[in-house]
C-alpha cells in the first residue's frame, strides 16, 4: 500500500503544470535527438544540462530523463523510414523496419514500434517501482569494498561488450579512470595533474568530454567526406497495426520488455545490447527465421520494446545505488549531484519527491510520446530533409554553447574541442567512447571506495574477497574479463553485437 501512496505522491509532483511542461520539452527534444543522426542522447543531455541549473532539481531530472527515453522513440522513426538509425539503440530496427517501409508497410512498423515502446515503458515503470526501493534497502548493507567491486563488475561488462579488442577497451577505461584523477585529490585535497591550469582544479568536466566525444567528433567524421543525405520517399498510411500484426507482435513485445528491463539494470549493458539480444531471441524462436531481415514485424516489435524497457532499467542502479550504467545515466547522475542531491540508497528516503516524481514522470512522458509521435512523424521526416551543412553548423554552435555555459569558462570549450579531436581519432582507430565516459564518472567513486577499503582493512586487499557481496561482484567481474581465455569469446560477443545480421 505504501508503494501506491508513494506513487500517487509522485504523480502529484509530476503533473504540476511546470513539471508537465519540462516533461513535454524533454520528450520532444529527446525525439528530435533520436531523429537526427549524429546527436545522441549523451550529447543532448550535456547540451541541456547547464540550462537546468536554474530549475528545481525534480524538474531538471524530469527534463533530462525525458530526453533519454524520448530518443528511443525518435530513433525508430528514422530507422524505419530512411534506414538511418538516429542513435545506436535503433540500429537493429533498420533491419526489418526499413524493409517493411519499402514494402509499403511503414505505417504498421511505426505503429507497432510506438505501441511496443509504450507497453514496454509502462511495464518498466512498474518494475522500477517494485525493484528500486528493494535494491536501495539492500544497498544499505554496502560498504566501500562492495561499491568498488560493483563498479569493477560494471566496467568489466562494458569492456567485454565493447566493439573491437578487449585490451583496447581496457586501455580506454584506464584513460577514463586517469582523467578522473585530474584535479584535487578527494581525500587529501592536494592537486594532481593540474600543471598550474586553474580550469583543471575542479577536474575535467564530464559535459565537455561527452560533447567533444559524441558531438564534435561526429561532425568531424561527417565533414571529412561528402555527406550523402538519402531520404526514401514513402507514403505513410494506416499507422494502426492490424489484428494479425498484433498477434505476431505481442510475444516479442513481452519478451523484449523483460529482456530490455533486466539487461538495462546490469551496469555496462546500457540500452544497445538488449535490442540485439531481443532480435536474436525473436529470430531463434521464430517459425520462419530466414525471413528476418526482409521486413517481419517481430524484428521491429521486440527490439523497439527492449530499448524502451532498458531506458527504465538503467534508472534502477542509478537511482537506488548511485551507479550509472552508461554515458546517458552518468550525465543524469551528474545532474542530480549538481543539484545537491545524493544519488544512492538514501535518495528515496531523503528526497522522495525527486525519486517518485521522476518515476511518475516516466509514465506521463510515455503517454505524451504515444500521443505526440504518431501525428508528428511527417514533421520529423521534414527535419531529416534539412541539408546537413545547416545541421552541422548548428550542432557545432550548440556544442560550443553547451560546454561554455556550464562554468562560463572559455577554456572549457577548448577542452571540449580537444576531446572532439580525441573522439574523432578514437572512431578512426575503432576505439569505443562509452567506456571512457563511464570510467571518467566512476573513476573518482572507485578511487574513493578503493582507498577507504584499504584504510578499513589496514592495507589488506583480502577485504574485497572476504566480504561475500564484494567477493561475488569482483569474481563475477574478473570472470567476465578473463572469460575470453577460456571460452570462444569472439563468437559469443559477435553474436551479441551483430544480432545475427
Partner 1 sequence: MAWVKVYCSLFWLLFSVLTCLQASRLDMGETSAPGPGFYPLTIGVVMGILSLIVFCQAIQSKKPAEKTTSTERIRWWNIVVILAAVTLYTLSIGKIGFLINTFLLITLLLKVVQPQSWKTSILGGLITAVASELVFNVILRAQIPTGLLGF
- Which residues contact partner 1 (rule: CB under 8 A)? 50-51, 54, 165, 167-168, 170-171, 174-175, 177-178, 181, 185, 187-188, 190, 192-193, 216, 219-220, 223-227, 388-390, 392-394, 396-397, 399-401, 404-405, 408, 410-411, 413-414, 416-417, 420-421, 424, 429, 447, 450-451, 454-455, 458-459
Q: Write the secondary structure of 437-459 as one string of H (helix), E (strand) and C (coil).
A: HHHHHHHHHHHHHHHHHHHHCCC
Q: How far is the CB of 167 from partner 1 (least distance, A)?
A: 5
Q: How far is the CB of 457 from partner 1 (least distance, A)?
A: 8
Q: How far is the CB of 421 from partner 1 (least distance, A)?
A: 6
Give the three cell numbers for residue 1. Answer: 500500500
Distance, CA of 272 to CA of 260 (rounded, Å):
9
Q: How far is the CB of 180 from partner 1 (least distance, A)?
A: 9
Give the nearer residue to partner 1 in terms of CB position, either 188 or 198.
188
Give the nearer residue to partner 1 in terms of CB position, either 48 or 129.
48
Q: How far is the CB of 411 from partner 1 (least distance, A)?
A: 8
Would you call 293 helix, strand, or coil by DSSP?
coil
Give the nearer residue to partner 1 in terms of CB position, either 309 or 413.
413
Q: Is the dihedral of CA 482, 488, 494, 495 positive or negative?
A: negative
Phi, psi of 184 (to 5 degrees): -85, 135
Give the three cell numbers for residue 8. Answer: 500517487
Q: Which residues contact 455 (CB under 8 A, 6 or more apart)?
A: none
Q: How far is the CB of 86 from partner 1 (least distance, A)?
A: 21
**How many CB atoms neighbour CB 25 within 10 A?**
18
Helix or strand run (H / E) with residue 349: helix 347-350
Q: How far is the CB of 143 from partner 1 (least distance, A)?
A: 17
Q: Which of 54, 62, 103 is nearest to 80 (CA)?
A: 103
Exposed, middle or buried, 484 (CB in 10 Å: 0-12/13-18/19+)? middle
Give the nearer residue to partner 1 in terms of CB position, either 54 or 490.
54
Q: What DSSP designation does 137 have? A: H
Between strands 191-192 and 183-184, the pairing is antiparallel
Q: How far is the CB of 227 from partner 1 (least distance, A)?
A: 7
How far apart, in Å, are the Cα atoms of 55 and each of 11, 60, 77, 477? Answer: 19, 6, 31, 39
Q: How far is the CB of 338 from partner 1 (least distance, A)?
A: 16
Give the three cell numbers for residue 153. Answer: 563488475
Give the nearer residue to partner 1 in terms of CB position, either 184 or 346.
184
Give the nearer residue to partner 1 in terms of CB position, either 331 or 426.
426
Give the nearer residue to partner 1 in terms of CB position, either 39 or 259.
39
Distance, CA of 261 to CA of 310 (rounded, Å):
4
Cell numbers 571460452 correspond to: 487
**How many CB atoms neighbour CB 490 within 10 A?**
9
Q: In 160-281, where do the E strands start and end?
A: 183-184, 191-192
Give the nearer residue to partner 1 in terms of CB position, either 225 or 488.
225
Give the nearer residue to partner 1 in terms of CB position, either 346 or 396.
396
Q: How far is the CB of 267 from partner 1 (least distance, A)?
A: 19
Q: Which residues contact 357 (CB under 8 A, 6 or more apart)?
A: 10, 13, 14, 19, 58, 61, 62
Give the nearer residue to partner 1 in terms of CB position, either 247 or 389.
389
Long-range contacts of the stretch 181-184 (C-beta < 8 A, 24+): 181/443, 181/444, 181/447
Distance, CA of 269 to CA of 131 (rounded, Å):
18
Q: How far is the CB of 170 from partner 1 (least distance, A)?
A: 6
Q: How far is the CB of 48 from partner 1 (least distance, A)?
A: 10
Give the nearer residue to partner 1 in terms of CB position, either 4 or 167.
167
Q: Which of 93, 100, 101, 109 is nearest to 279 (CA)?
A: 93
Q: How far is the CB of 73 from partner 1 (least distance, A)?
A: 24
Give the three cell numbers for residue 390. Answer: 545547416
Give the three cell numbers for residue 278. Answer: 531481443
Give the three cell numbers for residue 236. Answer: 505513410
Amino acid at each position: 500500500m505504501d508503494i501506491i501512496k508513494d506513487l500517487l505522491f509522485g504523480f502529484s509532483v509530476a503533473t504540476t503544470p511546470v513539471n508537465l511542461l519540462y516533461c513535454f520539452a524533454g520528450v520532444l527534444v529527446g525525439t528530435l535527438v533520436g531523429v537526427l543522426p549524429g546527436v545522441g542522447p549523451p550529447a543532448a543531455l550535456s547540451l541541456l544540462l547547464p540550462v537546468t541549473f536554474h530549475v528545481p532539481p525534480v524538474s531538471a531530472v524530469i527534463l533530462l530523463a525525458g530526453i533519454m527515453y524520448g530518443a528511443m522513440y525518435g530513433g525508430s522513426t528514422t530507422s524505419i523510414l530512411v534506414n538511418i538509425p538516429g542513435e545506436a539503440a535503433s540500429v537493429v530496427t533498420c533491419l526489418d523496419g526499413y524493409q517493411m517501409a519499402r514494402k509499403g508497410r511503414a505505417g504498421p512498423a511505426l505503429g507497432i514500434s510506438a505501441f511496443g515502446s509504450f507497453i514496454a515503458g509502462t511495464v518498466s515503470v512498474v518494475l522500477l517501482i517494485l525493484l528500486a526501493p528493494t535494491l536501495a534497502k539492500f544497498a544499505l548493507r554496502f560498504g566501500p569494498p562492495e561499491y568498488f567491486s560493483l563498479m569493477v563488475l560494471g566496467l568489466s561488462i562494458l569492456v567485454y561488450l565493447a566493439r573491437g579488442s578487449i585490451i583496447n577497451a581496457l586501455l580506454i577505461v584506464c584513460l577514463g579512470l586517469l582523467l578522473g584523477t585530474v584535479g584535487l585529490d578527494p581525500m587529501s585535497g592536494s592537486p594532481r595533474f593540474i600543471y598550474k591550469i586553474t580550469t583543471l582544479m575542479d577536474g575535467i568536466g564530464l559535459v565537455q568530454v561527452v560533447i567533444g566525444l559524441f558531438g564534435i567528433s561526429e561532425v568531424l567524421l561527417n565533414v571529412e567526406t561528402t555527406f550523402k543525405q538519402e531520404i526514401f520517399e514513402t507514403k505513410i498510411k494506416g499507422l494502426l497495426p492490424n489484428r494479425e500484426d498484433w498477434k505476431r507482435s505481442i510475444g516479442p513485445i513481452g519478451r523484449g520488455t523483460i529482456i530490455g528491463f533486466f539487461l538495462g539494470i546490469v551496469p555496462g549493458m546500457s540500452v544497445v545490447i538488449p535490442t540485439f539480444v531481443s532480435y536474436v531471441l525473436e529470430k531463434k524462436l521464430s517459425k520462419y527465421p530466414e525471413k528476418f531481415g526482409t521486413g517481419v514485424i517481430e524484428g521491429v516489435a521486440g527490439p523497439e520494446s527492449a530499448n524502451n524497457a532498458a531506458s527504465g532499467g538503467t534508472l534502477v542502479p542509478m537511482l537506488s545505488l548511485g551507479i550509472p550504467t552508461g554515458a546517458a545515466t552518468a550525465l543524469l547522475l551528474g545532474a542530480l549531484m549538481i543539484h545537491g542531491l545524493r544519488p544512492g540508497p538514501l535518495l528515496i528516503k531523503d528526497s522522495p519527491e525527486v525519486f517518485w516524481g521522476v518515476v511518475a514522470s516516466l509514465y506521463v512522458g510515455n503517454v505524451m510520446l504515444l500521443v505526440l509521435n504518431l501525428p508528428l512523424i511527417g514533421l520529423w521526416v521534414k527535419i531529416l530533409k534539412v541539408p546537413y551543412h545547416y545541421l552541422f553548423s548548428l550542432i557545432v554552435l550548440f556544442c560550443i554553447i553547451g560546454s561554455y555555459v556550464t562554468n562560463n569558462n572559455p577554456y572549457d570549450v577548448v577542452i571540449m574541442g580537444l576531446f572532439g579531436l580525441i573522439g574523432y581519432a578514437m572512431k578512426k582507430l575503432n576505439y569505443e567512447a562509452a567506456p571512457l565516459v563511464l570510467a571518467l564518472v566512476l573513476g573518482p567513486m572507485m578511487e574513493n571506495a578503493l582507498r577507504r577499503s584499504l584504510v578499513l582493512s589496514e592495507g589488506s586487499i583480502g577485504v574485497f574477497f572476504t566480504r561475500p557481496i564484494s567477493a561475488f561482484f569482483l569474481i563475477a567481474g574478473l570472470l567476465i574479463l578473463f572469460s575470453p581465455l577460456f571460452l570462444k569469446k569472439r563468437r559469443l560477443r559477435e553474436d551479441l553485437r551483430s544480432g545475427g545480421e
